[in-house]
Amino acid sequence: MIVLGYNGFGKAAELFARLYRATGIDRHLLFGHDSAAALIVDGSLVAAVEEERLNREKKTSKFPSNALNWCLESGGLTLDDVDVFAFSWQFSDDVMDRMIAEITEDASASAAEKLSRLGRLAETHAALFGREAILADFHEHTGHHLDPGKLTQVPHHLAHLMTGYHLAGGHDTAFLVSDGRAEWLSAIAGEVRGGEIRIFDELSIDSRHSLAMLFSVVTRYLGFVPNNDEYKVMALAGYAPPPQANPLLDHVVTVRPDGTYEIPYPASAVPAYYALFDRVFDGAPDRREDFAFRVRVAGAAQQMIEVLTAAHLGAVERRSDESRLVFEGGLALNCVNNTKLLEGSRFTAMDVSFGASDVGVALGAALYASREAGDTPRTGKSPYLGPEFSREDILAALDKFSQQVEWREVEPGRVPAETAALLQDESVVGWFQGRMEYGPRALGNRSILANPRFPGIKDLINERIKQREPFRPFAPVVLEELAPEVFETGKKDDSPYMTFVFPVRPAYQELIQGACHVDATARIQTVTDESNPQLAQLLRRFNELTGVPCLINTSFNVAGEPIVCSPVDALACFLNTDMDHLVLGSFLVRRTTDS
């Protein structure tokens, strides 16, 4: 059985701009962002890639034509060979009825407002959500008339769940999925036993009370891009201790006795939220970019996330006796919260996948459809699912830039040792190896690496290379066997996808200061010889040379750009920054003296 999963709407950006004014910083707030495709053959995960890595438009919502084509080419297949096309949204009649009721039952809206919203919903359904619209979109962007019988529409939150469940090994588990919104819900909870999914309906939270969307509104309020820059708010929260009195918990949100929660306005009510935030934080437009004010609001927002998700998870604990937890959805990218959720619960194990955000639903939809067809999904745990480039590809790219760079080739087995030597000082190295990672994190194949022991290394990378805000921290990558020695990892044995944050042990805080956040924590990636042999060898050799057990690992891109995919992307990024060296496969690259 050949299953091709995908996410993305061809007309989404244009339609949402016209109907909902979702332009500028609001362009990612609605459906379909993080377009992607994933291929499963006879239950085995073969390939997956985000459209943004190929069309070079960050968080694109466009139809994933390039991603679909690459997945098929990597498997030696054509569209005619595919048995099932799995789409990661399902706007069924029941869902549409609920969305209509959400509008008509809104007591705060006038009759005219309700009529306008119903009209926009009808047009959106006709152009995007309806089955005929999905089939037409597919034909428009591929030229292929998709057999309606081959199209499986998967509820968005179930696609999230399938990604997390299978990447965690397919064990019996409790689960929580929480994001901005799916079809009409923002969160579901339940358990999987013996492969059977059981949703605790009473713990579902509709989209009007979306915690992730409220966090996005706070992100927007502080001058950042919503549904994109929430990690900046999380980072800012680390600059002060948690607030003793929290205006958001005291005056904005309400935790119900059953562990669910209420939020006062839908996320679309931005003016109402701005007025409310100004009142409870004594804010004003000219204060929102003040660093101390941002830290105060960010701390309150981060604590709100932690309190509300802990309450929700507590309700799951009361309903399920499973010892494991899978947490997925965009809210699961808040890695500070993830660690606190696990440590504050009775769960002994918690998994958050490399595809926790919407990039993962293309994969999850394919996994769901594969299960439904009777296959047993076999995903493994590797995030390295994207394009790989040959020696000849790299040489061709180098030739294009031959006036600007010079290079030498080393034996593949020498690459880790040669790179470790480059990293002994304050050099910053672009690292391009093997298949590209799937998901929002650079996990060691499309990375920028540096030595964390130097006091100014964080500022150097933020300013001269990443071209981003100075308060942003960097993540360390460490051998899994050394992680408990360097970090207080608590219940976690590993953190392979940078989805958990741990305190840095006092003995190492100065030694790896460039990878320590201001609050002496770090979002770590653990590596083994099995998960990434090349990176593991580099870490081992670097530790032997320097006595430093970690490297800074940040994504190979600059602010606003997708992570590099190809050798040409890598060379262009290298030349547009102040990186010192570039390691392209087995080629060591540097600028020419006159470039």
10 has a pLDDT exceeding 90:
no
Tell me 65's DSSP state. H
Tens digits of per-residue pLDDT, 53-71?
999 999 999 999 999 999 9
Tokens (6 digits) for 50: 């985000």
> Is 3.30.420.40 the CATH classification of the domain at 2-91+130-168+359-372?
yes
Residue 364 identity (one-letter amino acid): G
Q: Would you state the pLDDT for residue 269?
A: 84
Statement: residue 24 has pLDDT above 80: no
User: 372-396: per-residue pLDDT in tens?
Assistant: 999 999 999 999 999 999 999 999 9
Burial 555-566 (b: 16+ CB within 10 A, else e): bbbeeebbbbbb
Q: Check pLDDT > 70 for residue 574.
A: yes
Q: How many CA atoms lie within 13 A of 555 on its CB side?
A: 23
pLDDT, residue 595, reads 60
Average per-residue pLDDT in the chain?
Answer: 95
Give φ, ψ of 563 to 5 degrees: -60, 145
Q: What is the mean pLDDT of residues 224-233?
A: 94
CA distance 574 to 558: 10
Domain ranges of the chain: 2-91+130-168+359-372, 185-352, 391-591
Nearest-CA neighbor of 335 among 260, 233, 415? 233
Q: Give the pLDDT confidence score for residue 16 in this predicted structure.
A: 82
| Alpha-helical runs (H) found in 208-246 | 211-221, 230-237
More confident call, 447 vs 266? 447
User: Per-residue confidence at 268, pLDDT binned at 50, 70, 90?
Assistant: confident
Residues 6+ apart with CB under 8 A from 115: none
* pLDDT tens per residue, range 78-88: 999 999 999 99
Token readout for 516 is 């320590």
Say if residue 536's pLDDT is above 90.
Answer: yes
By mean pLDDT, which of 72-86, 91-105, 245-259 is the weakest? 91-105
Span 391-591: which CATH code? 3.90.870.20
Q: Which residue in 34, 68, 66, 13 sits closest to 356, CA to CA?
A: 34
pLDDT at 89: 96
pTM of the model: 0.96
Residue 334: which pLDDT band, with cuts at 50, 70 and 90? very high
- The reported pLDDT for the residue numbered 542 is 99
581 carries an active-site annotation: no
| Between 593 and 461, the higher pLDDT residue | 461
SS3 263: coil
pLDDT average, residue stretch 225-242: 95
Average pLDDT over residues 233-248: 97
CA distances from 546 to 457, 526, 543 (A): 16, 19, 5
Residue 34 has pLDDT above 80, yes or no: yes
Catalytic residue (choose from 33, 160, 517, 581):
33
Residue 28 — very low, low, confident or very high, per pLDDT cuts 50/70/90?
Answer: low
pLDDT for 337-361, tens place per residue?
A: 999 999 999 999 999 999 999 999 9
pLDDT at 258: 95
pLDDT interval class at 76 (50, 70, 90): very high
Cα dihedral 235, 343, 187, 475 in deg (nearest 10): 30
CATH number of 185-352: 3.30.420.40
Same fold flag, 2-91+130-168+359-372 and 185-352: yes
Q: What is the pLDDT of residues 123-161, one digit of tens each?
A: 988 988 899 999 999 999 999 999 999 999 999 999 999
pLDDT-derived band of residue 95, with 50, 70 and 90 as boundaries? confident
110-124, 406-420, 429-443, 467-481: segment of lowest average pLDDT = 110-124
- Taking only the tens place, the pLDDT of each residue in 394-435 is 999 999 999 999 999 999 999 999 999 999 999 999 999 999
Q: What is the per-residue pLDDT for 30?
A: 67
